[in-house]
Amino acid sequence: MAIELPKLPYSYSALEPFIDRETMKLHHNKHNQAYVDKFNEAIQPYPMLAAKNAETLLFNLAKIPPDIQEAIQNNGGGAANHAMFWTIMKPKGGGEPTGVFADQINQDFGSFDDFKQEFNEAGKKLFGSGWVWVVWSGEKLAILPMPNQDNPLLHGQYPIMGNDVWEHAYYKQYSNQRDKYLENWWNVLNWNEINKRFIRALKFAAK
Ligand code: MN3
């Protein structure tokens, strides 16, 4: 069973003015589609992997056939990362975080502003293409920049939230101003979904 391009839970223009229609369209139906297609191509010769989703393969990367590990890391990562990315954003989102995740941010970073600043700083410093992730270390929240399409599941950690800092995520609208994109991204976050992922991360770590 091949994986499919996830349906965007809102329209391409829904995140404007923070992420424009052209960027969303290209990002979803070209970039995300390419990761999905290349993932499906990679697992095609291995019918025993057909029932596994990208997340499961990333978590068990060392156990899959060596000749496709790199393709799964990159394209399974690309598929999983973008599937997450669309759901943690929403129109009229943003504002202060809510729920248990807000409490945890205050406990581990002092305040939402400090958390946001540290996250944006990691995004600015990330050299080349990659993602900035938030994971549960087992004791506290941690901000984790990773290169390429690497997903925290490669290191056994469930991705609570992450921002895509590949140029394809912002260059069309923001040109080289990655810092502006990082700052504006907080206006589209879906804290309800991020809270659900935080609960999942706690359960995942407890297994
Ligand atoms: Mn991307």
User: Which domains, from first to last, does the chain contain?
Assistant: 21-87 (1.10.287.990), 99-206 (3.55.40.20)
pTM, to two decimals? 0.97
Report the helix count and the strand count for the chain, using DSSP H and E: 10, 3
Ligand 1 centroid from CA 90, angstroms = 16
Ligand 1 centroid from CA 31, angstroms = 6
Residue 3: φ, ψ to 5°? -85, 160
> In the predicted model, what is the mean pLDDT of residues 185-199?
98
Ligand 1 centroid from CA 61, angstroms = 21
> In the predicted model, what is the mean pLDDT of residues 61-90?
98
> In the predicted model, what is the mean pLDDT of residues 143-171?
98
In the structure, what pLDDT confidence band is assigned to residue 50 with cuts at 50, 70 and 90? Answer: confident
**Whole-number percent of the chain with pLDDT over 90:** 97
Residue 48, judged by CB atoms within 10 A of its CB (0-12, 13-18, 19+), counts as exposed
Angle between helices 99-109 and 112-125 (to 10 degrees): 80
Residue 108, judged by CB atoms within 10 A of its CB (0-12, 13-18, 19+), counts as middle
pLDDT digits (tens, 9 = 90+) for 84-118: 999 999 999 999 999 999 999 999 999 999 999 99
pLDDT digits (tens, 9 = 90+) for 162-173: 999 999 999 999
Ligand 1 centroid from CA 146, angstroms = 13
Per-residue model confidence (pLDDT) at position 207 = 80
